[in-house]
């Protein structure tokens, strides 16, 4: 689907969708348990892939009045009867590849073309250290993957600067091994807040994990040397249910829209504090000069149109915010410099290159380096841009289109289904003129 967006002002109230990151982890944690009710989950293409993986390992997942009722495999996943298709979900593949290492037989995991190009080698090597068979069928560290044979746990050394999802997968699986898993990081950990999300969900399901080292009182995993999780633990949330918080990654597009195209105030609900690093979007907008106020108790953020100024911001721990910040930088005065972003090239697409290319199509001057994206603000013009089959690229370009001179057509806009299925319906309700091209 190609979508045409006209320059628009936004106003009113919107509610962010539930967190994709929390939903993935909660659904899989319920799978490791005897079962659980996951309330207020995100039903999206990615999270459905994780639910299918739980079913493949012997559980079940049924929607019930907007919730997900999961029957788990109680720490003992079965050998899947068929391959596990993770579609476009890197989170699903990495978290459930570790699950596959627990089965007696073999598990085969694959995905679409984009997912089959993403790096899985460090995770395969870590599983190999745990005496799991862990192979890339093409011997290039990419899917399709074959894992299995079972493990009692043990010690692993792994890079922390490629994907924090490797750590999450090992921790979640390690809790149900006999001996547990001790993880030694051989590099600095990137995206540490996402490991904090994992620790948060593990804690809610009664599973204990320890951070070794660490240098930040707010982000537990920041600066960590490693992690330890004891074996023989059971997953069981209090009261048999787990409630998913709102998603700050998705919220960032709504807040950015209000900051550059607000007509009076735009209010985003469901913004309660959690371990999500992407809540940093609030302080980023403040630094750029946005009129923004967060009532943490009420879970509401109000933002109004402001004259924004370019800033320098690093995204080591918040990679998913790079497209949003780039769009904000294009609409701001001056230069926005996004640093520490090499790992953002390893997402659904190379998001550094994709944002540079598409903003250039919209008349914005950019500079692209291996670990940095520079955006020179001003001069946004309507154009035909590509979504790169990446939900975050699409939504960020939609934000930039609000203040472009002329209409913007986004090719492949349907891929927002990965994390924010009704994004364009929400945009339209806020006053954005968007129609199928």
Residue 276 and residue 304: Cα distance in Å, rounded? 23
The half-sphere exposure of 189 on its side-chain side, counting CA atoms within 13 A, is 30
25 labelled as ligand-binding? Answer: yes
Contact in structure between 18 and 40 (CB atoms under 8 Å): yes
392 labelled as ligand-binding? Answer: yes
Residue 320 and residue 311: Cα distance in Å, rounded? 18
Residue 56 and residue 49: Cα distance in Å, rounded? 10
233 labelled as ligand-binding? Answer: no
351 labelled as ligand-binding? Answer: yes
Could you tell me the CA-to-CA distances from 229 to 61, 148, 169 in Å, in that order? 27, 20, 12
The one catalytic residue in 85, 320, 390, 415 is: 320
9 labelled as ligand-binding? Answer: no
263 given a catalytic annotation = no
CA dihedral 297, 301, 307, 311 (to 10 degrees): 70
347 labelled as ligand-binding? Answer: yes
234 labelled as ligand-binding? Answer: no
20 labelled as ligand-binding? Answer: yes
222 labelled as ligand-binding? Answer: no
CA 431-436-437 angle, to 5 degrees, is 120
- What phi, psi does 167 have (nearest 5°)? -65, -45
CA 101 to centroid of chain Cα atoms: 23
Residue 385 and residue 399: Cα distance in Å, rounded? 13
Binding site for 3-phosphoshikimate: which residues? 20-21, 25, 163-165, 191, 320, 347
Binding site for phosphoenolpyruvate: which residues? 20, 90, 118, 165, 351, 392
Catalytic residues: 320
Binding site: which residues? 20-21, 25, 90, 118, 163-165, 191, 320, 347, 351, 392
């Amino acid at each position: 689907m190609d979508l045409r967006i006209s320059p628009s002002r936004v106003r009113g109230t919107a509610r962010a969708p539930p967190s994709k990151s929390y939903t993935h982890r909660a659904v899989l944690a319920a799978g490791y348990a005897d079962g659980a009710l996951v309330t207020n989950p995100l039903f999206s293409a990615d999270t459905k892939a994780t639910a299918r993986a739980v079913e493949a390992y012997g559980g079940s997942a049924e929607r019930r009045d907007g919730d997900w009722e999961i029957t788990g495999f109680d720490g003992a996943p079965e050998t899947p009867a068929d391959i596990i298709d993770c579609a476009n979900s890197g989170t699903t593949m990495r978290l459930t590849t570790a699950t596959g290492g627990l089965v007696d037989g073999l598990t085969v995991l694959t995905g679409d073309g984009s997912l089959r190009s993403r790096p899985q080698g460090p995770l395969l090597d870590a599983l190999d250290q745990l005496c799991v068979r862990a192979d890339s069928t093409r011997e290039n560290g990419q899917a399709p993957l074959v894992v299995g044979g079972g493990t009692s746990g043990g010690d692993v050394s792994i890079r922390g600067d490629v994907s924090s999802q490797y750590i999450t997968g090992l921790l979640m699986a390690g809790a149900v091994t006999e001996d547990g898993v001790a993880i030694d990081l051989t590099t600095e950990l990137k995206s540490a807040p996402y490991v904090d999300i994992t620790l948060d969900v593990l804690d809610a399901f009664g599973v204990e994990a320890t951070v070794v080292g660490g240098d930040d009182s707010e982000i537990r995993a920041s600066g960590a040397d490693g992690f330890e999780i004891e074996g023989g633990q059971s997953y069981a949330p209090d009261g048999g249910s787990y409630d998913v918080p709102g998603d700050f990654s998705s919220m960032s597009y709504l807040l950015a829209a209000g900051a550059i195209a607000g007509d009076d105030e735009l209010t985003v609900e469901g913004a309660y504090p959690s371990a999500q690093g992407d809540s940093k979007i609030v302080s980023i907008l403040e630094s750029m000069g946005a009129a923004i106020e967060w009532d943490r108790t009420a879970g509401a953020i109000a933002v109004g149109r402001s004259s924004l100024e370019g800033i320098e911001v690093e995204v080591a721990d918040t990679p998913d915010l790079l497209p949003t910040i780039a769009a904000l930088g294009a609409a701001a005065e001056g230069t926005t410099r996004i640093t520490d972003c090499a790992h953002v090239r390893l997402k659904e697409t190379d998001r550094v290159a994709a944002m540079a290319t598409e903003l250039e199509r919209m008349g914005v001057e950019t500079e692209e380096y291996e670990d940095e994206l520079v955006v020179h603000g001003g001069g946004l013009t309507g154009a035909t841009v590509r979504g790169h089959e990446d939900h975050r690229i699409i939504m960020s370009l939609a934000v930039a289109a609000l203040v472009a001179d002329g209409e913007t057509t986004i090719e492949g806009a349907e891929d927002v289904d990965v994390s924010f299925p009704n994004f364009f319906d929400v945009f339209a309700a806020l006053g954005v003129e968007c129609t199928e091209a």
